[in-house]
Amino acid sequence: MFIGYLAVTIFAALITASCAYTYLTGHDYPKAQMRMKRIPLSWGPVLGLILAAGAVGLLAGLAVPLLGLIATAGLQAYFILALFAHLRVGSRKLTGWAVFYLTETAALVLHLAHHGLP
């Protein structure tokens, strides 16, 4: 159980950090996504910081379980809101969203299975 928890948590942190990096460095893909969802480009760095905090929280949760729980719950909220942003503009291109959401969900489920509720 621990190996699965560790592997999924590290994977979730890595993909979340890579997503944060694209937002924080001004990469074209997140800009195109924000334009498509009609989100102001000025929000890019804020979204990147939220994702970066989530990635750090996932890793910190390996040592302090409550931080991991807060990070996974926060990332769940982030990606649920991202789904609403997609649906609001009629976007049905949800493959990327699903990969992130399901990875964060797996991290949350394994966190709770390993540590239980606080």
Distance CA 59, CA 67 (A): 9
Please, is 33 exposed, middle or buried when counting C-beta atoms within 10 Å of its C-beta (0-12, 13-18, 19+)?
buried
- In DSSP notation, 17-33 reads HHHHHHHHTT-HHHHHH
Per-residue pLDDT of 61-109, as tens digits, reads 999 999 999 999 999 999 999 999 999 999 988 999 999 999 999 999 9
What's the rounded mean pLDDT across residues 46-57? 98
Joined together, the tokens standing for residue 105 give: 């969900």
CB contact at 8 A, 103 and 19: no
Distance CA 20, CA 54 (A): 9
Vertex 13 angle, CA 72 and 113, to 5°:
45
Name the pTM for this structure.
Answer: 0.92
